Structure 1
Amino acid sequence: MYTPCPTPRSQAMADRVEAFVRDVVIPYETDARCTPHGPTEELVLELRAKARAAGVLTPHILEDGQHMSQLETAAVLKRSGLSMLGPIAVNTAAPDEGNMFLMGRIGTPAQKARFLEPVVAGEGRSAFFMTEPAEEGGAGSDPSMLMTTAVRIDGGWRIDGRKTFITGAQGARVGIVMARTGEAGKNKATMFLVDLPNPAIRVERVLDTIDSSMPGGHSLVAIDNLRVNDDQVLGEADEGFRYAQIRLAPARLSHCMRWLGVATRAQEVATAYACTRKAFGKPLIDHEGVGFMLADNAIDLQQSALMIDWCAGVLDTGSLGNVESSMAKVAVSDALFRVADRCVQVMGGTGVSKSTMVEQFFREIRAFRIYDGPTEVHKWSLAKKLKRTAMGHGDS
C-alpha cells in the first residue's frame, strides 16, 4: 500500500511508531483492562509510559512544540492506527489530537501551560463538549442548534446545558466547552477551557455504543452553573464557530489517517487467514470469490491513502480545506467500511467472533462513518457548494 513519508523526520518517526505498535501495543489487545467503554486509565498510563520510554509519545508534536505538517502527520498517524490501542498509547487519539491542534493554534501562553502541556505530555486526557441530546433539540451535525448557554457574570461566565456523546469525558483532565453566547438565533458561540473533574460538570451516564476503543467511552453530561473566568475563554468570545472550523478539517482528516491503519491491519489478518484456511481442496484466496474481495480491499486502501495525502497537502497550503476534508471523510470512511466488511466476510464465522480483532475493527470503522459528520451531511454540504458554484456561473 502507498504510505509515503514526505520528510526524513516523518519517515524515521513513522517507522518507530509502527515498530512500537506491532511489537509492544498489539499484545495488549486481549488485556482484560480493555472494557466495553474503552481501556481503563491504568492501561492508558501503562501504555503511555512505554511509549515515552521508546521515544514515540505524541510523535506528531516536535521538540520545539510545533506541529508536524499534515502530510508528515499522516505518515505517522496511519502507522499508529495499526492497533486500536496504538493512537491511545502514543497519544495521537481523538479527541486529544484535535484539541492539541486547536489549543496550539489559538491558546494564550498561559492557557497552553495550564491546559495544553499536560495533554501533550500524555499526563491527562481531554474532551470536547459540543454535541447535545437530539431529544432536547440540541446541536449535532447542525452546530447552529447549540442550546448550552454562557452568560456573562462579574469577572467571568456562567455555563449551563447538557451534552452527549462526549468522548473521554469520564476521566478527562481538560475540557473545551462550546456554548452559545449572545441572543438565540444570532449564531454566536464561545469556547471555554475547563479543568476537570469539576463538580459543575456531571457525567450522567456512559453510553453503550457499537464501538469500545475510546478511553472513558462516550458520555451524557450535565453542565449546571459552571463558573469560569475570562482567562478561560479560548480565543475570543463569540468566535467559537470560526475556531471550530480551524479544528474541524484537520481533526476529521486525522480520523481518516488512524482508521486507515485499522483497515490495513484488518486486511493483513484476513489475507493471512485466506492463505492458510482451505476449502474445496485449495486455500480460500485461490477461490475468486474470496481473492477478488481482498483485491478490492487493496484498491480501496490505496485510494484512501491517496485521498488522505491529497487533503493533507491542501491543508498544508494554509487552506481551511473544508470541502476537501468533507470529500476525504466520505470517500475514506465508506471505503474503509467496505474493507472491514469484506474482511469479516472472508473469514466467515471467525470474522464475527472475538477470536480475532477483525470483529472489533468492523464495529469501530462502522462508527467512523458517523463521527465527525455522517456521510450524508458531508454530501449535502458538498451539493450546496456545487449549487452555489453553478448558480454563480449562471448554469441551470
Structure 2
Amino acid sequence: MSIADTGAGREIAARVERFVREVVAPYERDSRRDHHGCPTGDLVAELREHARAAGVLTPHILADGSHLSHRDTALVLTATGLSPLGPLACNTAAPDEGNMYLLGKVGSPDIQRRFLAPLLEGRVSSAFFMTEPAAEGGAGSDPMMMQTTCRRDGDHWVIDGRKAFITGAQAAGIGIVMAKAEAGACMFLVDLPNPAIRVDRVPRTIDTSMPGGHCEVTISGLRVPASQMLGEPGEGFKYAQVRLAPARLTHCMRWLGACRRANEIATDYANRRQAFGKVIIDHEGIGFMLAANLIDLKQAELMIDWCADVLDGGTAGISESSMTKVAVSEALMRIADRCVQIMGGTGVTEDTIVEQVFREIRAFRIYDGATEVHLWSLAKKIRRDWKEARQ
C-alpha cells in the first residue's frame, strides 16, 4: 500500500524496501551491540557501506541537495523503518534526519558545507542538545524553561549548562546546541567531541535502536565562533519549530514501517501456530486482533498522508503534526501490543523484532512531545479559536 501516488517516491521506496528486507533485516541478529543493547558504530558503518553500494543512502535527499516532498518522504522513510536497523543503514534515522532538514532550511552556505555535507554523506552522526534534566528544573516539553546560557565574548559565544536525553551524543561528530541569551534562544553548530562538553552518564532506557543511547551532559565554558551560530540571535525557538513539525512526522513514518513488519510477523505466526485443533488465526480472539491491526495501520497511514500534504502546502503544520503524532503513536502502540499478545511467549523474546518494536513504540509515545503535551496544546488551540470566532 502506498501513502501517496507519486512516481519519484514510489520508485525510491521500492528500492529501499528491497534493500531493507534483503540486506538489512539479516543483521537484526548481529551481536555488535553496546552494553545498553544499541547498535555499535562499526555495525552502522558496515550497513551504510551496503546502502551506499545499493544507491539508497540518504534516499530522501536528492543529488542536488533538494528534499523529496513530505508525501514522497513518507513512502521512503516508511520503507526504511521495516527494520529497526533500516533508518541507521539508510541514514534516515533521528536525530540526523531532522538535523539535516534544519540545516538545509536555515544553515548558511558555510554551515551547510562544513556540517550538513558530512551528514548527507553518512560519514558522521549528530546530536541535538535541547532537553535539560527535569530534576534541575530544565527545559523538556516546555522549552521556555531552558537554563543553558550563552553570552557573547568578542568573536565567540560562551555556553554553559546541563542537557539530558541527548541522543547519540557520545559518538556524534556534530552537535546543534540550544542556549538562551538576553535576546532569546540561540542555536550553535559544534564540532564533537569537545572537551567543554562532558558526558556524565548514559541511562539505560527501554528503547535500543539509537546508537549511543540518550546522554546526560555538562557544558562548561564551551567557546563557539560567532560564525557557527545558526541563523540570528534570539531566533532559536523559531528554528526549533522549523525542525519540529517535520521531525514529529518522520518519526511516525519510520515507526509505521516497523509496525507493518511486526504485523507481518504476527500474521505469519497466527497462520502457522496450531492450538485447540486449528490455526490460531481462526480463533476470533486472534483474528479480530489482526483485523484491528489492519484498521490501525491504515488510519496511521492516512494521518501521515494528511499531515504531509499540509506541510507540502507550505504551512507550518504544528497543530496537524501534533494531531498526527498523537493518533499515530497511540495506534502503533496498539498494534505493537497486539502483535506481542498474538505471539504469546514468543512475542516477549528476542527471537523476532516484535519485542523490540513494542519497546521502541512505547518510548515513541514520549519523545518529540508526550501524547498528553500534544493534547494540552491542541486544547489550548481549541479554546483560542473559540474565542477568536466570537470577537
- TM-score interval for Structure 1 and Structure 2 normalised by the shorter chain: over 0.9
Q: Could you tell me whether the CA contact under 8 Å between 1:126 and 1:172 is conserved in 2? A: yes
Query: C-alpha separation between the residues in 2 aligned to 1:355 and 1:51?
Result: 25
- Aligned partner of 2:270 among 274, 280, 292: 274
Aligned residues: 390
Deviation of 1:37 after TM superposition, in Å, equals: 4.7
Aligned equivalent of 1:217: 213
Aligned equivalent of 2:125: 125
The answer to whether the aligner puts 1:379 opposite 2:378 as a matched pair is no
Q: Deviations over 1:355-396 (max 9, x none)?
A: 21111110001000001000000000000000011112239x
Query: C-alpha separation between the residues in 2 aligned to 1:315 and 1:374?
Result: 21
Q: Could you tell me whether the CA contact under 8 Å between 1:37 and 1:216 is conserved in 2? A: no
> After the TM superposition, which residues 181-220 of structure 1 pair with which residues of structure 2 at under 5 Å, given as runs?
181-182=181-182, 188-220=184-216
> After the TM superposition, which residues 151-166 of structure 1 pair with which residues of structure 2 at under 5 Å, given as runs?
151-166=151-166
> After the TM superposition, which residues 289-300 of structure 1 pair with which residues of structure 2 at under 5 Å, given as runs?
289-300=285-296
Query: C-alpha separation between the residues in 2 aligned to 1:392 and 1:240?
Result: 28
Equivalent residue letter for 2:266: A
Deviation of 1:353 after TM superposition, in Å, equals: 1.3
Equivalent residue letter for 2:277: G
Aligned equivalent of 2:301: 305
Q: Could you tell me whether the CA contact under 8 Å between 1:37 and 1:217 is conserved in 2? A: no
Query: C-alpha separation between the residues in 2 aligned to 1:251 and 1:114?
Result: 22
Query: C-alpha separation between the residues in 2 aligned to 1:130 and 1:37?
Result: 24
Query: C-alpha separation between the residues in 1 aligned to 2:143 and 2:323?
Result: 20
Deviation of 1:215 after TM superposition, in Å, equals: 1.1
Query: C-alpha separation between the residues in 2 aligned to 1:146 and 1:7?
Result: 41
Deviation of 1:62 after TM superposition, in Å, equals: 0.5
Aligned equivalent of 1:58: 58
Deviation of 1:34 after TM superposition, in Å, equals: 3.0
Q: Deviations over 1:44-72 (max 9, x none)?
A: 11000000000000000001001111001
Aligned equivalent of 2:142: 142
Equivalent residue letter for 1:126: S
Q: Could you tell me whether the CA contact under 8 Å between 2:4 and 2:305 is conserved in 1? A: no
Of stretches 31-40 and 211-220 in structure 1, the one that deviates more from structure 2 is: 31-40
Deviation of 1:4 after TM superposition, in Å, equals: 3.1
Equivalent residue letter for 1:61: I
Query: C-alpha separation between the residues in 1 aligned to 2:19 and 2:201?
Result: 34
Query: C-alpha separation between the residues in 1 aligned to 2:169 and 2:154?
Result: 28
Equivalent residue letter for 2:19: F
- Aligned partner of 1:255 among 234, 251, 265: 251
TM-score by structure 2 length? 0.98
Equivalent residue letter for 1:71: R
Equivalent residue letter for 1:237: P
Query: C-alpha separation between the residues in 2 aligned to 1:63 and 1:31?
Result: 31
Q: Could you tell me whether the CA contact under 8 Å between 2:81 and 2:256 is conserved in 1? A: yes
Aligned equivalent of 1:245: 241
Query: C-alpha separation between the residues in 2 aligned to 1:76 and 1:60?
Result: 7
Aligned equivalent of 2:104: 104
Query: C-alpha separation between the residues in 1 aligned to 2:119 and 2:210?
Result: 16
Equivalent residue letter for 1:30: R
Equivalent residue letter for 2:119: V
Deviation of 1:207 after TM superposition, in Å, equals: 1.4
Query: C-alpha separation between the residues in 2 aligned to 1:366 and 1:223?
Result: 30
Query: C-alpha separation between the residues in 1 aligned to 2:274 and 2:233?
Result: 63
Deviation of 1:42 after TM superposition, in Å, equals: 0.4
Q: Could you tell me whether the CA contact under 8 Å between 2:2 and 2:10 is conserved in 1? A: no
Q: Could you tell me whether the CA contact under 8 Å between 2:281 and 2:287 is conserved in 1? A: yes
Deviation of 1:198 after TM superposition, in Å, equals: 0.6
Equivalent residue letter for 2:361: I
Aligned equivalent of 2:7: 8
Deviation of 1:256 after TM superposition, in Å, equals: 0.2
Query: C-alpha separation between the residues in 2 aligned to 1:368 and 1:263?
Result: 12
Deviation of 1:78 after TM superposition, in Å, equals: 0.4
Q: Could you tell me whether the CA contact under 8 Å between 1:39 and 1:215 is conserved in 2? A: yes
> Could you say what secondary structure the match of 2:8 adopts?
helix
How big is the alpha-carbon RMSD for the aligned residues of Structure 1 and Structure 2? 1.0
Query: C-alpha separation between the residues in 1 aligned to 2:371 and 2:177?
Result: 25
Query: C-alpha separation between the residues in 2 aligned to 1:58 and 1:169?
Result: 21
Q: Deviations over 1:301-329 (max 9, x none)?
A: 00000000100000001111000000000
Consecutive unaligned residues of structure 2, counting only runs of 5 or more, are: none
Equivalent residue letter for 1:86: G
Equivalent residue letter for 1:66: S
Query: C-alpha separation between the residues in 2 aligned to 1:364 and 1:4?
Result: 23
Q: Could you tell me whether the CA contact under 8 Å between 2:139 and 2:147 is conserved in 1? A: yes
Aligned equivalent of 2:82: 82
> Which 4+ stretches in 1 moved above 4 angstroms?
none
> After the TM superposition, which residues 298-337 of structure 1 pair with which residues of structure 2 at under 5 Å, given as runs?
298-337=294-333
Consecutive unaligned residues of structure 1, counting only runs of 5 or more, are: none
Name the % identity: 64
TM-score by structure 1 length? 0.97
